[in-house]
Amino acid sequence: MALFINEDCIACDACVSECPNTAIYSPDEEWSYADGTNLSGEVTLLDGTTVDADEMNEALSDEFTFIVANKCTECKGFNDEPACVDVCPTDAIHVNEDLGEDEDTLLKKKELLHG
């Protein structure tokens, strides 16, 4: 499952530089699929949605550091454990059980992001 950051976040941004997928952004920061990945131009995501990887998207939060779920692979393919969780001083980063992604799906997502 992708991870998410809850309201315990103090926006210290310690996790931002830990992410191998550039899935974590500072509050109020615009984000794109192309940031830190091999994606560019029109891309079809695993759920069939087509996006412009280079397009800058609105921040998901103006208060907390946030994770773009479609770019988070739970670090599969890079680390044994999610790298961001260990560095968070307030334990604000958690698995999003609602997404129901298994390991195979996360590895496919990693392949999509990085080729």
| Residues in contact with ligand SF4 by the rule CB under 6 A | 3, 18-21, 23-24, 67, 72-75, 82-84
Closer to ligand SF4 at the Cβ: 43 or 99? 99
Inter-residue contact 65 to 16 (CB < 8 Å) = yes
Shortest reach from residue 75's CB to ligand SF4, in Å:
3
Residue number with CB closer to ligand SF4 (20 or 112): 20
- β-pair partners for 5: 93
Q: Which residue is listed with tokens 């079809």? A: 44
Q: How far is the CB of 82 from ligand SF4 (least distance, A)?
A: 3
- CA 15 to centroid of chain Cα atoms: 11
Kindly state the smallest distance separating residue 83's Cβ from ligand SF4, in Å: 4
Cβ-based nearer residue to ligand SF4, 6 or 42 = 6
Q: Residue 9: is it exposed, middle or buried by C-beta count within 10 angstroms (0-12/13-18/19+)?
A: buried
